[in-house]
Amino acid sequence: MSLRPFSAHAPRNDKLESIVKYLAFILSVLVLSPHISFAQHYPFPQHVQYAKGSIRPSHLTQKQLDGQVTSFYNQWKARYVRKACNANDQCFIWFEKPGNKQCVSEGQGYGMMITALMAGYDHQAKTTFDGLYRYYAAHPAKKGELLMSWAQNYQCKNTDNSSATDGDMDITYALLLADKQWGSNGAINYLQAAKALLGDIMKYEINPKTYTILLSNGAEYDSEDYYDTRTSDFMPSHFKAFAKATGDIRWQKVTDNTYRLFAEMVRHYSPEAGLVPDFIQNVRHPRPAKPNYLEAKYDGAYNYNACRVPWRLAMDYLLYGDSRAKTMCDRINKWLRATTNNNPDNISAGYSLEGNDLPKRYFEALSFIGPFATSASVDARNQQWLNHVWDYLVAFKMKDYDYYDNSIKLLDMMVISGNCWKR
């Protein structure tokens, strides 16, 4: 039996041709459709093994912890992820507070980190993430075109052209998470976008003389605030990821210099409580900011910016085992447990650097409670305290708080439950 050689004039096989065309169509749908579920490399839940000696709530099973996270995430996403004006492929995190702002870059960063980490549980996480990215990209600051303008109004217009350093850094870190979660071979090259954004952050939001963090891209080398810093912009676990992604050793300088700055502030101004103020003036000869320096009369106290510091520090220990982070968290935990008598209901919404409650701040603020809970997870001596604070944090209803408190609560729940992985 001989095989018939191929001929360009051989009879057509219409059935085979139809099958080929159908398969080509299916392939085009898979490639082009934004609604197709992409594979995740780190689907939620992950149950990360954190640094030695760290803990998570022990009175609940891991399944129960994960369930509480996903339940709150469902509520959070339904409330805060919104479609942009006349741009169906863009979305933003709703600012929610009274006034003419509908979005701030800080919230955009929170939302992008959350959705990258919740992929797998949320099969539309990549679509949401890409929409959040496109909104960020559509609202650049004037100086440093890859930085995000810090706020937009209800017409989706930038309220001014300045940036907010913390928002830019969280957006960058979220892009690195996205690269690890989904890869960068799709419509958006996450890794390339992160590296490009890091170039602008280093150029416009890092002081090249002190390697400390500038307040925004608006700080000029000859302005009074050029040597000032906002403590909540210190994100050492992010900086380690930035250094790894780029090979830029300057991020290690930023980390080391800011840890030294914080240690000096604690030594001189908060030896008992271990707290840092919202703003530090003149990092060369540091002091807590004066009242009404930038935002409020408590700018030199542990207020609504600095409240995030224990969460950021704890992440550096949990993910990287940095002993400097644990030293700071241990001091805060010792003071906090003593001043509250191990009762989370006694946590106030703000403290002086001496560790005293700020006047008229005897109310619950999740943006304070959540980071304190995360800091407790660095050491087994805090086990019962962590169990109590977890239950206390989880019990608060979303409807009673705004986007800031609820977003920080969710991020802290994700960390404490073991579901934040290292980029």
Q: Any residues with CB less than 8 A from the CB of 96 and at least 6 apart, and which?
A: 80, 402, 403
Q: Which two tokens stand for residue 243?
A: 């250094």
H or E stretch at 233 = none
Q: Which amino acid is at 31?
A: V
| Helix, strand, coil share of the chain (percent; to 5) | 50, 10, 40
Can you read off the two tokens belonging to residue 187? 């419509």
Catalytic residue among 66, 96, 106, 170: 106
Residue 354: CB partners within 8 Å, gap ≥ 6? 270, 272, 273
206 backbone dihedrals φ, ψ, rounded to 5°: -120, 130
Integer-rounded Cα Rg, in Å, for the chain is: 24
Burial class (CB in 10 A: 0-12, 13-18, 19+), 248: middle
Distance CA 348, CA 247 (A): 41
Could you tell me the two tokens for 62? Answer: 């891991």
Return the amino acid letter for 22: Y
Distance from chain centroid for Cα 73: 15
Coil, strand or helix at 275? coil
Pair of tokens at residue 137: 């990209």
- Active-site residue 166, yes or no? yes
Annotation says 122 is catalytic: no
DSSP assignment of 77-136: HHHHEEEETTEEEEEEE---SSSSEEEEHHHHHHHHHHHHHHBTTBTTHHHHHHHHHHHH
Contacts of 251 (CB under 8 A, 6+ apart): 239, 240, 242, 243
User: 6 by DSSP, 3-state: which?
Assistant: coil
User: Alpha-carbon torsion 200, 276, 384, 413, what sign?
Assistant: negative
Question: Of these residues, 96, 130, 166, 379, which one is catalytic?
Answer: 166
Residues classed as catalytic:
106, 166
